[in-house]
Amino acid sequence: MEENIAKHESAMVFLVKFVHLVILKEKNQLEQKKHKMKILGIGNAIVDVICKVDEEFIDQNNLTKGTMKLIFDDKEFQSMLSSLKIEKTISGGSVANSIVGLSQLGNKVGFIGKVSDDELGNKYEEGLKSENVEYFYSKKKEELPTGTCLILVTPDSERTMYTFLGTAGKINENDVNGEVVKQAEIIFLEGYLWDEGEPKRAFEKAINGANKVAMTLSDQFCVDRHKPHFLELVKNKLDITFANEQEMMSLIDAKNFDEVIDFGKSLKKLIVITLGSKGAISIFGDEINEIGVDNNLNIKDLTGAGDLFASGYLHGFINKMSPAECLNKGKEMSSKVIQQIGARL
What local confidence, expressed as pLDDT, does residue 326 receive?
A: 98
Q: What residues are paired with 188 via a beta bridge?
A: 41, 214
Q: Which segments of 53-113 are extended strands (E)?
A: 68-71, 86-92, 109-112
Give, as one character, the DSSP assignment of residue 340: S
> What local confidence, expressed as pLDDT, does residue 134 receive?
96
| 158-186 as b/e: b if 16+ CB within 10 A | ebbbbbbbbbbbbbeeebbbeebbeebbb
- pTM for the structure as a whole: 0.84
Give all domains of the chain, ordered by start, each with its CATH number: 37-43+94-141+167-337 (3.40.1190.20)
List, run by run, the mean pLDDT of 10-residue segments along the chain (345 residues).
58 57 48 68 93 94 91 89 88 94 97 94 92 93 92 92 92 95 97 86 95 95 93 97 97 97 95 96 97 90 92 98 98 95 80
Q: How confident is the model at residue 314, as a pLDDT? A: 98
Distances (CA, A) of 343 to 37, 285, 306, 331: 23, 32, 9, 15
SS3 260: helix
For helices 305-318 and 94-104, angle between their N-to-C axes, nearest 10 degrees: 50
> Letter for the amino acid at 341?
I
| Cα–Cα distance measured from residue 337 to residue 331, given in angstroms and rounded to the nearest whole number | 10
